[in-house]
């Protein structure tokens, strides 16, 4: 069958099971957009290419499938970079197709030419410039394979206009075989046995679970393992949802804004089992004093994650789910009689930390942001998909909502991109149509990709946005308060749009709460209203996120309220 | 921790952009490249990069893992601590006044080098050997006045087990 490059792209997207594409057209991709008209893909026309990538990211996390973006050359391509870098740091499977000037013009500083392959080399798992239409199908197949396998990540495919327009014989390529790429899924059983031996001996074990657990959907295996061996679980921001947030063994998140009991447990534990984590600096604080008494085990599919930031006694290279199910098999053979009594002092200690120093706030005359999230949790029964912006809103969303499954908490963890939450919510809603999707936002972040509200309205995607409106770039203000003697250098917004009117201008619904007693009513109404809604919660201006570990301090040195 | 010098032999896809993925990895993560040489192998689709790098043991471990993680990298061999043969070549253009000409030729001879270009007031000397040997020649020629040097960086191959001398 003779096909044009653009048609081959469409065929291959079908082959890969793609249903949604987040994109924005332009000169270099006119032919692709023309071919798109003859297909059934759900194409979501975003309002900014950054939004397309964050939406594909949210889609991938909510659906478990690969997110797909399509943008034009030059500015279209450069606008994707922030989204790609975010997906790279969070290991989210996305394939980004960029238009490119015709091959004979590459290198000429042609109109809307940029070397996007060069620009994105350090923030993609891999990228390609297709120079021959005969390689197109195989390249697309490889791109999807790389994006979703091993440690997932974004893969970019740059498509020069002449390639898209040339014709070749199309045949669906066979299985991808790359001699340079072969991730290790199944861990070494001897290493797994070592973990079991350590579990049998440990008095004060802790599991530290991360984004890898969510990516490999290892939540059931993790829950089974933790409950059976009676080991408390904490997680990184990216790990939320990997273990039920309501379980008695749940410690809450750890790290800079971790709970007191999580950070204390890490500091006192004698065995730390890290699963799908990279021991990021926001988690470890000062590494020398991180888990100082513990034997550290680390399970990860990416060998570069292991031993990168902290020394590890038992390194295990493998997929989190497979590793945990092997652990569970071996655990069956372990005599666990008396494990309850054995763990009792440790779990009691943790319980005491929780009761003396819980996450807490006092709801007074002005709305507390934490109260908004508490109430949202209650009203949604813990069932909503929560996306976040970045800053205090993100931390409170992590602390006060409780998650039960992977893909339920969607946040730009590694890069911390303000403006992520709204487009990610749109993508998540496309990927999980029946679900309630709420973006917990700050008044600063929401203004970074507010234009995507038009996308939500156009496609009738009923995402809800809860703005915790404190009039400040709150998280930065908090650092200035604590570490710069309260010198608020350019963190106060002297002018703020009227978010209710703004919502209405976009054709969405706008609601506002200014008093604590209005919070529940507004949330309830917002959640029940059809279509996209912005809820503007005018909250306490100078509320802080606590506990807080100052950057570079040991995680037991927490500032408490 | 102590810095160590390591000699890496890296087989990669012989494709455009691959070298920049490698050098980009090093610059982006703050690793050091002391020398680098690249050329095709017997398989035309495969190139061999020989690289000398240094860093703490933790960094060296990361360098090897990060290289392996690159999709275009086929194999990374750390030759440090193995048996290998190693060579570097240098072209040294040195001032050759009449009173120094014999001395330069003598030094070249001792190090089994060759004069590959001669002019009225210069010699270009070629020497091959390990980097220490090349340093030694350079030091000996320095007093005469070195005009320019071009060095290839190290190339190396592991010795075969047992039947290699
Ligand atoms: C794109 C981008 N620019 C700047 C920052 C730095 N930054 C981190 S948090 C923050 C403040 C966010 O303010 P807001 O969205 O109002 O949320 P709040 O902290 O008040 O909840 C800023 C500016 C960032 N993370 N991302």
SS3 A557: coil
Q: 């870098």: which residue's tokens?
A: A85
- A486 by Cβ neighbours in 10 Å (0-12 / 13-18 / 19+) ranks as exposed
Beta bridge pairs of residue A2: A169
Do A289 and A425 fall into the same domain?
no
Q: Number of folded domains in chain A?
A: 3
- Asked if the ipTM is above 0.85, the reply is yes
Closest-approach residue (CA) in chain B for A181: B71
Distances (CA, A) of A226 to A57, A251, A340, A411: 29, 12, 12, 25
Provide the edge-to-edge strand list for the sheet that holds A295-300: A250-253, A233-235, A205-209, A271-275, A295-300, A314-317
Q: Using alpha carbons only, what angle is made at residue A428 by residues A426 and A432, rounded to the nearest 5 degrees?
A: 120
One pLDDT digit (tens) per residue for chain A, 561 residues: 899 999 999 999 999 999 999 999 999 999 999 999 999 999 999 999 999 999 999 999 999 999 999 999 999 999 999 999 999 999 999 999 999 999 999 999 999 999 999 999 999 999 999 999 999 999 999 999 999 999 999 999 999 999 999 999 999 999 999 988 999 999 999 999 999 999 999 999 999 999 999 999 999 999 999 999 999 999 999 999 999 999 999 999 999 999 999 999 999 999 999 999 999 999 999 999 999 999 999 999 999 999 999 999 999 999 999 999 999 999 999 998 899 999 999 999 999 999 999 999 999 999 999 999 999 999 999 999 999 999 999 999 999 999 999 999 999 999 999 999 999 999 999 999 999 999 999 999 999 999 999 999 999 999 999 999 999 999 999 999 999 999 999 999 999 999 999 999 999 999 999 999 999 999 999 999 999 999 999 999 999 999 999 999 999 999 997
Catalytic residues of A: 49, 111-112, 161, 475
Identical fold for domains B4-78 and B84-158, yes or no, is: yes
Do A508 and A481 fall into the same domain?
yes
Residue A100 lies in a domain: yes
Q: Indicate which CATH number applies to the domain containing A407.
A: 3.40.50.970
Residue A514 lies in a domain: yes
A500 φ, ψ to 5°? -70, -45
Distances (CA, A) of B110 to A538, B2, B116, B123, B145: 84, 36, 16, 16, 19
Do A291 and A413 fall into the same domain?
no
Distances (CA, A) of B144 to A391, A473, B104: 65, 66, 8
CB spacing of B65 vs A303 below 8 angstroms? yes
Domain regions of chain B by residue span? 4-78, 84-158
Do A220 and A342 fall into the same domain?
yes
E strand or H helix that includes residue A396: helix A392-400
Question: What fold, for B84-158?
Answer: Alpha-Beta Plaits (3.30.70)
Q: 């927490």: which residue's tokens?
A: A558
CB spacing of B24 vs A122 below 8 angstroms? yes
Beta bridge pairs of residue A97: A70, A157
Residue A311 lies in a domain: yes
Picking from A117, A179, A304, the nearest residue to B74 by CB comes out as A179
- A184 by Cβ neighbours in 10 Å (0-12 / 13-18 / 19+) ranks as middle
Domain covering B4-78: architecture: 2-Layer Sandwich (3.30)
Residue A175 lies in a domain: no
Residue A179 lies in a domain: no
Range of the structural domain that residue A324 is part of: 189-356
Query: What is the number of other CB atoms lying within 10 angstroms of the CB of residue A180?
Result: 14
Residue A176 lies in a domain: no
Strands (DSSP E) along A363-463, which ranges? 385-388, 409-410, 437-442
Q: Which of A504, A523, A507 is nearest to A466 (CA)?
A: A523
Do A491 and A348 fall into the same domain?
no
- Considering only CB atoms, which residues of chain B are within 8 Å of chain A? 13, 17, 20-21, 24-25, 28, 58, 61-62, 65-66, 68-69, 71-74
Q: Residues of B with CB below 8 A from A181's CB?
A: 71
Respond yes or no on whether the N-terminal peptide bond of residue A547 is cis (omega within 30° of 0).
yes
Distances (CA, A) of B76 to A126, A180, B61, B70, B122: 18, 11, 12, 11, 42
Residue A419 lies in a domain: yes
- Rounded Cα gap, residues A374 and B77, in angstroms: 54
Q: Which of A387, A510, A515, A363 is nearest to A439 (CA)?
A: A387
Query: What is the number of other CB atoms lying within 10 angstroms of the CB of residue B165?
Result: 4
Do A203 and A95 fall into the same domain?
no
- Rounded Cα gap, residues A551 and A559, in angstroms: 12
Do A431 and A475 fall into the same domain?
yes
Do A202 and A346 fall into the same domain?
yes
Q: Which of A79, A418, A545 to mutate to test the pocket of ligand 1 (most atoms within 8 A of CB)?
A: A418
- Alpha carbon A105 to chain centroid, angstroms: 38
- Rounded Cα gap, residues A213 and A215, in angstroms: 6
């Amino acid at each position: 069958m003779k096909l044009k490059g653009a048609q081959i792209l469409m065929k291959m997207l079908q082959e890969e099971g793609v249903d949604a594409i987040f994109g924005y057209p332009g000169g270099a991709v006119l032919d692709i957009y023309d071919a798109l008209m003859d297909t059934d893909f759900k194409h979501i026309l975003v309002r900014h290419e950054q939004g397309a990538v964050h939406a594909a990211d949210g889609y991938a996390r909510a659906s478990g499938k690969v997110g797909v973006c399509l943008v034009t050359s030059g500015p279209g391509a450069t606008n994707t970079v922030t989204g790609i870098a975010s997906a790279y740091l969070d290991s989210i499977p996305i394939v980004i197709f960029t238009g490119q000037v015709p091959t004979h013009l590459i290198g000429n500083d042609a109109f809307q030419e940029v070397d996007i392959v060069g620009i994105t080399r350090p923030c993609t798992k891999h990228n390609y410039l297709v120079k021959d239409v005969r390689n197109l199908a195989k390249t697309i197949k490889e791109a999807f394979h790389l994006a979703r396998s091993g440690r997932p990540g974004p893969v970019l495919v740059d498509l020069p206009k002449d390639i898209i327009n040339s014709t070749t014989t199309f045949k669906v390529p066979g299985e991808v075989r790359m001699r340079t790429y072969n991730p290790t899924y199944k861990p070494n059983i001897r290493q797994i046995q070592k973990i079991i031996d350590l579990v049998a001996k440990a008095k004060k074990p802790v599991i530290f679970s991360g984004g890898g657990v969510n990516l490999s959907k290892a939540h059931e295996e993790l829950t089974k393992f933790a409950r059976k061996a009676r080991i408390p679980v904490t997680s990184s921001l990216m790990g939320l949802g990997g273990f039920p947030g309501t379980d008695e063994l749940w410690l809450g998140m750890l790290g800079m804004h971790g709970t007191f009991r999580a950070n204390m447990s890490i500091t006192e534990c004698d065995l730390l089992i890290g699963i799908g984590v990279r021991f990021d600096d926001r988690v470890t604080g000062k590494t020398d004093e991180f888990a100082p008494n513990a034997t550290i085990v680390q399970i990860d599919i990416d060998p570069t994650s292991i031993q990168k930031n902290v020394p590890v006694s038992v390194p295990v290279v493998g997929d989190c789910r497979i590793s945990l199910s092997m652990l569970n098999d071996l655990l069956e053979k372990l005599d666990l009689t008396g494990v309850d009594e054995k763990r009792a002092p440790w779990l009691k200690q943790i319980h005491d930390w929780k009761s003396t120093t819980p996450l807490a706030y006092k709801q007074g005359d002005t709305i507390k942001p934490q109260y908004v999230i508490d109430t949202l949790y209650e009203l949604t029964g813990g069932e909503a998909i929560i996306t976040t912006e970045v800053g205090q809103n993100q931390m409170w969303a992590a602390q006060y909502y409780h998650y039960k499954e992977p893909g339920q908490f969607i946040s730009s963890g590694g890069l911390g991109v303000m403006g992520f939450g709204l487009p990610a919510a749109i993508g998540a809603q496309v990927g999980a149509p029946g679900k309630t999707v709420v973006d917990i936002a700050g008044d600063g972040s929401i203004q970074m990709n507010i234009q995507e509200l038009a996308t939500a309205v156009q496609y009738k995607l009923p995402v809800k946005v809860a703005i915790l409106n404190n009039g400040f770039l709150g998280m930065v203000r908090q650092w200035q308060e604590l570490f710069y003697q309260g010198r608020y250098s350019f963190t106060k917004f002297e002018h703020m749009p009227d978010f209710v009117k703004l919502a209405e201008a976009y054709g969405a619904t706008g609601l506002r709460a200014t008093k604590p007693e209005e919070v529940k009513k507004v949330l309830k109404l917002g959640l029940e209203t059809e279509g996209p809604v912005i809820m503007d919660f005018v909250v306490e201006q100078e509320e802080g996120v606590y506990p807080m570990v100052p950057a570079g301090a040991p995680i037991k040195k927490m500032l408490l309220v | 921790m102590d810095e160590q010098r390591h000699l890496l032999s890296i087989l990669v896809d012989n494709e455009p952009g691959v070298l920049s993925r490698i050098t980009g990895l090093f610059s982006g993560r703050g690793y050091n490249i002391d020398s680098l040489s690249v050329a095709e192998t017997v398989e035309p689709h495969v190139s061999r990069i020989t690289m000398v790098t240094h860093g703490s043991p933790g960094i060296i471990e990361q360098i090897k893992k990060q290289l392996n993680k690159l999709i275009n990298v086929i194999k990374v061999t750390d030759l440090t601590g193995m048996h290998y043969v190693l060579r570097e070549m240098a072209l040294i253009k040195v001032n050759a006044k009449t009173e120094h000409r014999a001395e330069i030729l003598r030094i070249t001879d001792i190090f089994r080098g060759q004069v590959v270009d001669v002019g009225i007031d210069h010699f270009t000397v070629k020497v091959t050997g390990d980097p220490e040997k090349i340093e030694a020649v350079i030091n000996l020629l320095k007093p005469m006045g070195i005009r320019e040097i071009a060095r290839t960086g190290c190339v190396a191959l592991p010795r075969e087990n047992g039947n290699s001398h």
